[in-house]
């Protein structure tokens, strides 16, 4: 049975934790919270698509096509999707290859963010496609 004395004890403990671990308040405040799922695709190496999950974990009750937010032409050109990971951007200070604020802005604006491959990988892909096209001409 919880008494008023116990309630005040928990309230004091929470205040101490919030003061000591400031991230606790930031992460759990509704405005800064953004969950997303990250997918990669069979036709594009090193291209990743982040899909917004603003209602996570309350959106897991029903089966849903999360990639449905992508424009259909774009989606069909990607190939088969593979789930990579779930990410809480509120817990991260930054991301490895992209600006976190840009990702958050796109997730809020359009529901997805596309992380393009690094330039060197794009160049290799273009060279391979050009070579394949040239090989087809001479076969």
| Domain locations in the chain as residue ranges | 1-29, 33-138
Express each pLDDT in 100-117 by its tens digit: 889 999 999 999 999 988
Express each pLDDT in 14-45 by its tens digit: 455 444 444 333 223 334 468 999 999 988 88
Closest CA to 66 of 98, 103, 38: 38
Could you tell me if 91 and 34 are in contact, meaning their C-beta atoms sit under 8 angstroms apart? Answer: no
pLDDT value of residue 16:
52
pLDDT value of residue 36:
93
Give yes or no for residue 46 having a pLDDT over 60: yes
Instruction: Report the top-level CATH class of 33-138.
Output: alpha beta
pLDDT value of residue 30:
39
Task: Assign 86 a pLDDT band (cuts: 50, 70, 90).
Answer: very high
CB neighbour class for 106 (10 Å; exposed up to 12, middle 13-18, buried from 19):
middle
Report the C-alpha gap between 20 and 15 in whole angstroms: 9
Express each pLDDT in 55-85 by its tens digit: 888 888 888 889 999 999 999 999 999 999 9
Could you tell me if 121 and 46 are in contact, meaning their C-beta atoms sit under 8 angstroms apart? Answer: yes
| Percent of the chain clearing pLDDT 70 (strictly above) | 76
The tokens of 78 are what? 């990607």
pLDDT value of residue 83:
95
pLDDT value of residue 27:
29
């Amino acid at each position: 049975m919880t008494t008023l004395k116990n309630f005040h004890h928990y309230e004091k403990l929470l205040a101490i934790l919030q003061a000591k671990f400031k991230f606790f308040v930031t992460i759990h405040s509704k405005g800064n919270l953004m969950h997303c799922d990250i997918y990669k695709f069979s036709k594009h190496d090193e291209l990743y698509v982040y899909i917004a999950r603003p209602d996570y974990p309350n959106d897991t009750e029903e089966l849903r096509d999360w990639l449905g937010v992508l424009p259909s032409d774009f989606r069909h050109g990607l190939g088969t999707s593979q789930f990579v990971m779930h990410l809480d951007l509120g817990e991260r200070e930054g991301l490895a290859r992209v600006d976190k604020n840009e990702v958050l802005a796109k997730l809020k604006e359009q529901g997805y963010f596309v992380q393009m491959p690094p330039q060197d990988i794009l160049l290799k892909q273009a060279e391979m496609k050009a070579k394949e096209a040239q090989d087809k001409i001479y076969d």
